[in-house]
Amino acid sequence: AIERTLSIIKPDATNRNLTGKINAKFEEAGLRIVAQKRMHLTKEQAGKFYAVHAERPFYDELCEFMASAPVVVQVLEGEGAIAKNREVMGATNPADAEAGTIRAEFAESVGENSVHGSDAPETAAEEIAFFFAGLEIVG
Ligand code: CMP
């Protein structure tokens, strides 16, 4: 089925001017960027987005990092987009990511891992609604 998923190009990647190279990976995999905006999140906004991780030991560091520089938030659309995006991103820890994936090529560490992608249909819907109004998504 055609799905939509929420993607974030993280501060480590925007700092290194990698937005275009990462977007090319999505497009080469058949994902369409149907919404996109660059934002500088506050730590509070990052904390709200990652609320499911609030009890994890890395939560504070994660929120600081996500607010440290601009991010690019995006909606990706395509056949099986949620799983396909996760394939293109590679494993969370770049040391485990397969060759050719975004994290294998660009990520610096498990925390500064260049991209975020929704993990399931329910979270994709929630995460898209967190950042985008319906009218901003142009399929
Ligand atoms: P993401 O897919 O954005 O979802 C939660 C993020 O927490 C994850 O990517 C990682 O960047 C980050 N994360 C996971 N594990 C660790 C860790 N051990 N230390 C720091 N950050 C982590």
> Would you give per-residue pLDDT tens digits along the chain (139 residues)?
999 999 999 999 999 999 999 999 999 999 999 999 999 999 999 999 999 999 999 999 999 999 999 999 999 999 999 999 999 999 999 999 999 999 999 999 999 999 999 999 999 999 999 999 999 999 9
How far is the CA of 1 from the CAs of 5, 7, 82, in angstroms?
A: 13, 18, 11
**pLDDT confidence of residue 55:** 98
58 is in an annotated binding site: yes
For ligand 1, mutation pick of 64, 92, 106 (most atoms within 8 Å of CB) = 92
Other C-beta atoms lying within 10 Å of the C-beta of residue 97: 20
Report the residue among 62, 82, 116 best suited for mutation to probe ligand 1: largest number of ligand atoms under 8 A from its CB.
62
Count CA atoms within 13 Å of residue 3 on its CB side: 20
Q: ipTM more than 0.90?
A: yes
Specify the ligand 1 atom closest to the Cα of 62.
21
38 is in an annotated binding site: no
37 is in an annotated binding site: no
User: Please, are residues 72 and 42 in contact by the beta-carbon 8 Å criterion?
Assistant: no
Query: Does residue 92 have its Cβ closer than 6 Å to ligand 1?
Result: yes
